[in-house]
Chains A and B, each alone.
Chain A
Amino acid sequence: MYRNYAKQDVINNEVGLTVRLAAMNTTTPSPDAEDSVVSDEALLIAVGNNQDVDAFNQLFTRFAKKILALGMKLTRNEQLANDLIQESMLNVWLKAPLYDLDKGSAKGWIFTLSRNRCFDMLRKQKRQPNCISADDIWPLESGAEPTMVHEDIAGQQVELSVIEGYFDKLPDSQRAVVEQIYIKDRTHEEAAAHLQIPLGTLKSRLRLGVAKLRNMIGVDQ
């Protein structure tokens, strides 16, 4: 049913849990990635959904030198560049649940995060006023949090069968999340874990799916 997740890798994390990791249909894997290599995205999803320390270690190893190179280029200061590794990877850990795989690769997400932290580090070091930060200059495409509740759709007084008809018209990826939340009554976190997608992706697909349903209901009335 979930054609997005047809390709799956299997790894064992250190607490012995088997984690099936989703490969994605939305980004092209890097050319040197072999089928046996776990994608950056899969590692990031494991970090965000399962607080997987082993996956985080792997991301750390993959990105430390890249972040260092970026830091050296932008700060020309070895100490700052080394600080940037820690600062950026801390943010990778903290914000992993917010990653949205529909909006780009994990590498792109980590690049953005590292560039922004570097920009703010330099501003702080030069004691520049803090009226503005990197996240204002390179804003994340932020949709508002989905605020709808179940009553929203029910309140429209539409036959359930009609809604079900609309439901079938949703793209697979959106139907899957709407089903998890509205039919199976799972929490966002449970649904993200079940679908093996980041929480950030779950929320944005849910937002899109519900908006589409509302639209279809509105249009027909």
Chain B
Amino acid sequence: MNTEVKLHPSTELLNRFVQGELVTGKSVVVAAHVELCESCSAKAEELQALAVSSWVDPGNVLQPDQSSAADYSSTVARIVTYPQIKSEPIEDLVEVDIDVLNHSIKLPKVLAKAASQGLKWKKVPGGISEAQLFLDNETLCEFIYMAPGCQIPVHTHQGSESTLVLDGSFEDELGEYKTSDFIIRDAQHNHQPLSTEGCLCFAVLDSPLKFTKGLARLMNPVNRYKFKKAISRVA
């Protein structure tokens, strides 16, 4: 079993990110890490340069459909009637701070934008609070705050979970994770995160959690329900 701890997204994931192949939730969590991590930001730039240099005309198999090829000149004629944009629109700077215990945490820009319509925090047993974001219809995205000393019950994932540590730290059987770390967990991992100092994370799951030990197993139907609900909210 590969138990390698990955604190950065893999090259493959970064590559799919720059190519635009990831679903929105995954794109957002990777983008937030890239915003916080200089080396991944540089790597993403290199990967994009590679994608651009290999962006070539397709072979004969793929042709623009005949009707639209014939329409190109009328398309161009229509396009060039629009006035051009002379300066970048000045965007309202969105800032979102999340207050925990005795300090407040400024979110990376992409998460601030995603959370700008407000977060509804819900307390769940064990000193954990969660706030969901609805970004697409394939993932469950949520901020998770673990109070100091709090532990999440042992669980595995049926799909994969990408977690970005935004503040503080937590640990599990495989290591310790600190601010800006990017962690991927999948069905192979059975883990029990523990945070001594408290921790704010943003997590994106592509299927529900499954608790594997003790009374927490009773929560599995709830997890499945929560996941379905998150998906149906946007569907």
Contact = CB atoms under 8 A, between A and B. Distances in A.
Contacts of B28: 132, 137
A78 B109 contact: no
A82 interface: yes
Interface in B10-24: 18-21, 24
Nearest to B68: A82
A186 interface: no
A70 B136 CA distance: 21
Contact of A57 (B76, B82, B88, B90): B76
B74 to A, nearest CB: 11
B80 A53 contact: yes
A98 interface: yes
Interface of B: 18-21, 24, 27-28, 31, 48-49, 51-52, 55-58, 62-65, 68-69, 72-73, 75-76, 79-80, 82, 84-88, 90, 109-110, 113-114, 116-117, 133-137, 234-235
Interface in A129-175: 129, 131-132, 134, 136-140, 142, 144-145
A138 B31 contact: yes
Interface residues on A, range: 35 or more
A65 B57 contact: yes
A12 to B, nearest CB: 18
A22 B137 CA distance: 46
Contact of A123 (B24, B85, B86, B117): B24
A-side binding surface: helix, strand, loop or mixed?
Answer: helix
Given A51-B84, A69-B58, A115-B20, A136 B114 contact: yes
Contacts of B27: 119, 137
Contact of B80 (A56, A82, A129): A56
B65 A82 contact: yes
A7 interface: no
Given A68-B64, A137-B31, A138-B31, A89 B114 contact: no
A129 B84 contact: no
Interface string A65-89: 1101110111000100010011001
A66 B63 CA distance: 10
B64 A131 contact: no
Contacts of B235: 127
Contacts of B133: 131
A98 B87 contact: yes
A177 interface: no
Given A115-B20, A139-B109, 16 more contacts: A48-B84, A60-B72, A60-B75, A66-B56, A72-B58, A82-B64, A98-B85, A98-B87, A98-B88, A111-B55, A115-B19, A116-B20, A123-B136, A131-B114, A132-B135, A189-B86
A19 interface: no
A96 B148 CA distance: 51
B24 A132 contact: yes
16 contacts: A53-B76, A60-B72, A69-B55, A82-B64, A82-B68, A86-B68, A98-B85, A98-B86, A108-B48, A111-B52, A128-B137, A132-B24, A136-B110, A137-B31, A140-B88, A203-B87
A149 to B, nearest CB: 16
Given A65-B58, A69-B58, A136-B109, A96 B84 contact: yes
A136 B116 CA distance: 12
Given A123-B24, A128-B234, A85 B64 contact: yes
Contacts of A96: 84
Contacts of A134: 20
Contacts of A108: 48-49, 52
Nearest to B45: A104
B116 A90 contact: no
